[in-house]
Amino acid sequence: MPIDQIKNIVDYGIIGLLIFMSILTFAFAIERLLYYRSIRLSKYRHRLALEIDLTRRLGTIASIGTNAPYIGLLGTVLAIILTFYIIGDKQADIDTGEIMKHLALALKATAAGLVVAIPATVIYNALIGKVDVLIAKWEILQDEKADNRR
């Protein structure tokens, strides 16, 4: 595989995928927050139905937070393979500046993976906290309804 193809896979494939995952995380987070703001707890008769509606798309956000570092690591490994290929190809005439550029590319992929994963994990945890609060409010509402029937 030519050097430029590996570089393009890291630059456009790995970084592009991480950017897409980041956009997806923020889009789902905004959608969930708007949904939580507009939800009417009184319309739910069963807790499981409420939980299903509240946790929709949260698994995707959690998966992005979990897997983004691995995707960044894949980019790192590909870039390091590229660097070793360059070193092996130019045994006698090694340009350290070029080697450093490729190692920086490797670090860029790792950093991008972490930049996606950290906010996704924070967002997921914040949304799970909001889900817990809404379920608690629903349970209070159910207790009040039961008290009113007595």
Task: Give 125-148 as a 3 state SS string.
Answer: HHHHHHHHHHHHHHHHHHHHHHHH
pLDDT at residue number 90: 66
Domain of 114 in residue numbering reads as: 3-149
Give the predicted TM-score (pTM) of the model: 0.86
97-109: pLDDT as tens digits: 877 877 887 888 8
pLDDT at residue number 125: 98
Answer positive or negative: Cα dihedral of 31, 32, 38, 40.
positive
Count how many domains the chain has.
1
> Percentage of the chain surpassing pLDDT 90?
63
Mean pLDDT over 76-94 rounds to 78
Round to the nearest angstrom and report the end-to-end CA distance of the chain.
Answer: 75
Instruction: Specify the higher pLDDT residue, 130 or 109.
Output: 130
- Taking each helix axis from N to C terminus, what angle separates 58-89 and 96-149, rounded to the nearest 10 degrees? 170
1-40: pLDDT as tens digits: 566 777 777 778 899 999 999 999 999 999 999 999 999 9
